[in-house]
Amino acid sequence: MTDARTTPAGVAGRKRTAQRIPLNTLAIAFGLAGLAGVWTTAGRLLGVPEAVGQALWAVAAVGWLWLIVAHLRRGARSAESLADQLRHPAQGPIAALVPVVGMLIGADLYRFVPVAGAILVLASMVVGALFAGWILAFWHAGSLTPEAFHGGYLLPTVAGGLIAATTASRIGLPGVAMGAFAVGIFFWIVISSVLLARLAFFPPLPAALTPTCAILLAPPAVAGTAWFTMNGERADVVSVALLGLLILMALQQVALLTRYRVLPFTLGFWSFTFPLAAAGGYGIEWLSIAGFAGWQVVAWLVVALVTVTVVAIGVRSLLLVTSVRRGARRAESVLRRADTAVERR
Between CA 285 and CA 1 the distance in angstroms is: 69
* Strand intervals (E) in 287-344: none
Contact 268, 24 (CB under 8 A): yes
What does the pLDDT profile of the chain (345 residues) look like in tens digits?
A: 445 445 554 444 444 567 888 999 999 999 999 999 999 999 999 999 999 999 999 999 999 999 999 999 999 988 888 888 899 888 899 999 999 999 999 999 999 999 999 999 999 999 999 999 999 999 988 878 888 889 999 999 999 999 999 999 999 999 999 999 999 999 999 999 999 999 999 888 888 889 999 999 999 999 999 999 999 999 999 999 999 999 999 999 999 999 999 999 999 999 999 999 999 999 999 999 999 999 999 999 999 999 999 999 999 999 988 875 666 677 767 676 666 665 655
Residue 22 DSSP one-character state = P
**CB burial of residue 16 (10 Å; 0-12, 13-18, 19+):** exposed
In sequence order, what are the residues at sequence separation of 6 or more whose Cβ sits closer than 8 angstroms to the Cβ of residue 135?
86, 92, 93, 96, 156
Written as one string, the DSSP assignment of 138-190 is HHTT----GGG--GGGGIIIIIHHHHHHHHHHHTT-HHHHHHHHHHHHHHHHH
Count of alpha carbons within 13 Å of 140, Cβ hemisphere only? 6
Q: Using alpha carbons, list the distances in angstroms from residue 344 to 49, 144, 197, 211, 271.
A: 50, 11, 20, 20, 23
Contact 42, 284 (CB under 8 A): yes
Contact 242, 224 (CB under 8 A): yes
Written as one string, the DSSP assignment of 241-297 is HHHHHHHHHHHHHHHTHHHHHTSPP-GGGGGGHHHHHHHHHHHHHHHHHH--TTHHH
Tell me the CA end-to-end span of the chain in Å, nearest whole number: 48
Between CA 285 and CA 242 the distance in angstroms is: 13
Between CA 252 and CA 275 the distance in angstroms is: 13
Model pLDDT, residue 144: 82
Model pLDDT, residue 5: 47
Contact 157, 132 (CB under 8 A): yes
Model pLDDT, residue 11: 47
Between CA 246 and CA 223 the distance in angstroms is: 10
**How many of the other CB atoms lie within 10 Å of CB of 301?**
12
Query: What residue type is 29 in one-letter code?
Result: A
What is the sign of the dihedral through the CA atoms of 55, 57, 59 and 62?
negative
Between CA 125 and CA 104 the distance in angstroms is: 10
Nearest one of 171, 152, 164 to 127, comparing CA atoms: 164
Q: Domains along the chain?
A: 19-344 (1.50.10.150)
Contact 219, 154 (CB under 8 A): yes
Model pTM score: 0.91
